Each structure stands twice: as C-alpha cells, then as structure tokens.
Amino acid sequence: MDLALLRTFVTVHRAGSFTRAAALLGLSQPAVTSQIRTLERQLGRPLFLRQARGVTPTTIGDELAHKAAPHLDALVEIAESGLDDESSLRTLHLAGPPEFTAERALPALTELTGDDGQGFALRASFGTAEETLEGLAAGHHDLAISTARPRGALLTATPLCDEEHVLVAAPRWAERIGPGALRLKGAPALENLPVVEVHESLPFVSRYWASVFDSRPAASGTVIVPDLRAVLACATAGAGLAVLPRYLCASGLDRGEVVTLHDPAVPPLRTYFLVVRTGTLAMPHIARAHEWLQRASATWC
C-alpha cells in the first residue's frame, strides 16, 4: 500500500475535511479526493461519508486510522529528527495562553530538557485558545494547553486542572466600599469601582458576575492590557478591581498587596485541557511531556 495515500488518508481523517487536509498537505483538493478514491478502490471499501460540511469516517475508516496513524507519525518523526546525528535532542513545540504557560507549564517542562537520553529541546509560543488549537491542527505545535475543548476527531483533549477565579483589588478599594458591603448590596456595591481587564468585552469580570451575582457588570474597563500578569500589576498599583486566577495572585494576597473583595461559596472555575493531534501520543517525547504535565498539575490550581 502506498504510504503517500495513507498519509493523505490520515490527514483527511484528522482534519474532517478534504479542503482542510489539502491545505495541510500543500495539495489541491482534487488531488486529495483522487488519492482517497484510489485508496478506497484498493481496499474495496468506503473510508468516508461525504457530507455538506466535511466528511465523516466510516467504521473501516476509523479502524484504518487507528492502526496506521501512530506508525505514520513515527516515520515522520524519524525523518524530521534525522538518522545521522544521534546526539541531537528532539524538539517539543508547545503552545498555550501566555500566563498559564509561563507560570505553570514551562517551569515544569524545563526539568525534561536535559541530556539524559530521554530529554528534548523545548520551543513555546503563546496565543488564544482558537489560535493554539488551529496551530496544533495545522502541525505547527506538538502539544497545546487550551481553555476550550476541541471538537471532532482531529484533536484529543485531556482535562488538566481547574483554575479558581478571584475578585481582587488594592486594599484602599476594599476600604472604600467598606466591610460587609457586598454581602448587603451585592454587585451594585462595586459599580463605581474602576475595572482592569484583558479585553474591552471584560471576559473575566463578566464570567465572574454571571456566575456569582447572576448579572452583568455595569462598569466598563478603565485599564485594558492583554496579559493577566499586567492586570495584576495594575490592580496592585491601585488601578481598580480585577478578576484573576488564584495561582497568579496568591503571592500578592499573601503579602497584602491585593485583597479579595468577595468570597463566594462556589467560586467560578475554568478548566484547562492538554490537547494533541490524535495519534501523536505514540511519539515518546510528546507522551512524556503530556504525562509530566498531568503529574505536575496535581499541585497547581
């Protein structure tokens, strides 16, 4: 059986679309369609059901992908790593949100970058959930950390940890609203406080308000900075209230630089997922990083 046909088949199976597979392979859509038809003729069985939007694998298609994909991925890795330089480290390409990746994932994974024969080189990039998942699907990354669970068979997601969100501000703002104000007035007690956020849409504050107060925030953003670490710095400097992951502001809370404005019985949570292209956990360096992060996450959020 032609390995090129199998490679095209596995790409279509993961992408769920001839068009997307063609883009990933650098081929035209007719060429991809022709290769799949050739493979189907050789096997004497249909591999995909054509639909209005993309394709769905048949039972035979799923079985073939399950058997072939790990071996094809292993061959690709051999080709990419080379056979002559046995001393070179494999490279793991990681992508995820900047704050969580920098504060949690990278410190954990640097323990695996040694030269003990099982280590790897590490390359990281930051982006939104949509950006990292698209990059992973396109083959730009090996492993992604995402707050969105992907759909379809192309990517496989494993829950990593839950992140608790905390409503914080510099002490002077807590003094201004007074003790017990939130308990008596609820969200209206916060309406006149400035807000620090990562986007004009106030994603963190809006999620907190919906979960805790069952309402929408009345205030607009006073300071907008696209990094939660900068949000923390601005909140610490007194710029206004912010909703932050507890792991990110725990030290500031311990030192009294920021204080919690509210302590709900059930705090809002956000789940992180470890995501890989289906079948690539057969590659030792990806599997090791995946397992290592799962172990490390037990002490995180």
Alpha-carbon distance 228 to 168, whole Å?
13
**Model pTM?**
0.73
Q: Are residues 206 and 107 in the same domain?
A: no
Q: Are residues 261 and 190 in the same domain?
A: yes
| 125 strand-pairing partners | 95
Q: Are residues 98 and 148 in the same domain?
A: yes
Q: Are residues 13 and 72 in the same domain?
A: yes
Domain that holds residue 44: 3-82
Q: Are residues 125 and 259 in the same domain?
A: no
pLDDT, residue 181, reads: 59
Q: Which of 63, 82, 101 is the last residue of a domain?
A: 82
Eight-state DSSP code of residue 53: S
Per-residue pLDDT of the chain (301 residues; tens, 9 = 90+): 678 899 899 889 888 889 888 887 888 899 999 999 999 999 999 999 988 778 999 999 989 988 888 888 777 666 655 544 544 568 899 999 999 999 999 999 998 887 555 678 999 999 999 999 988 887 889 999 999 999 877 789 999 999 999 999 999 998 888 766 566 566 788 888 999 999 999 999 999 999 999 999 988 889 999 999 999 999 999 999 999 999 999 999 999 999 999 889 999 999 999 999 888 888 888 999 999 999 999 988 6
Q: Are residues 230 and 102 in the same domain?
A: no
pLDDT, residue 83, reads: 45
Q: Are residues 153 and 243 in the same domain?
A: no
Helices 3-15/59-81 angle, 10° precision: 110
Q: Which of 82, 101, 134 is the last residue of a domain?
A: 82
pLDDT, residue 239, reads: 96
Q: Residue 51 contacts by C-beta under 8 Å, 6 or more apart in sequence?
A: none
Asked whether the CA dihedral 155, 156, 161, 165 is positive or negative, the reply is positive
pLDDT, residue 117, reads: 54
Q: Are residues 179 and 266 in the same domain?
A: yes
- For the chain, the domain total comes to 3
Question: What is the CATH classification number for the domain harbouring 289?
Answer: 3.40.190.10
Q: Are residues 156 and 167 in the same domain?
A: no
pLDDT, residue 278, reads: 83
Q: Which of 52, 82, 112 is the last residue of a domain?
A: 82
Q: Are residues 178 and 263 in the same domain?
A: yes
Q: Are residues 244 and 174 in the same domain?
A: yes
Q: Is 219 helix (H, G, I), strand (E, B) or coil?
A: coil
Question: What is the CATH classification number for the domain harbouring 34?
Answer: 1.10.10.10
Q: Are residues 10 and 78 in the same domain?
A: yes
Alpha-carbon distance 261 to 235, whole Å?
12
Alpha-carbon distance 180 to 137, whole Å?
49
Eight-state DSSP code of residue 89: P
Q: Which of 104, 103, 222, 112 is nearest to 173 (CA)?
A: 222
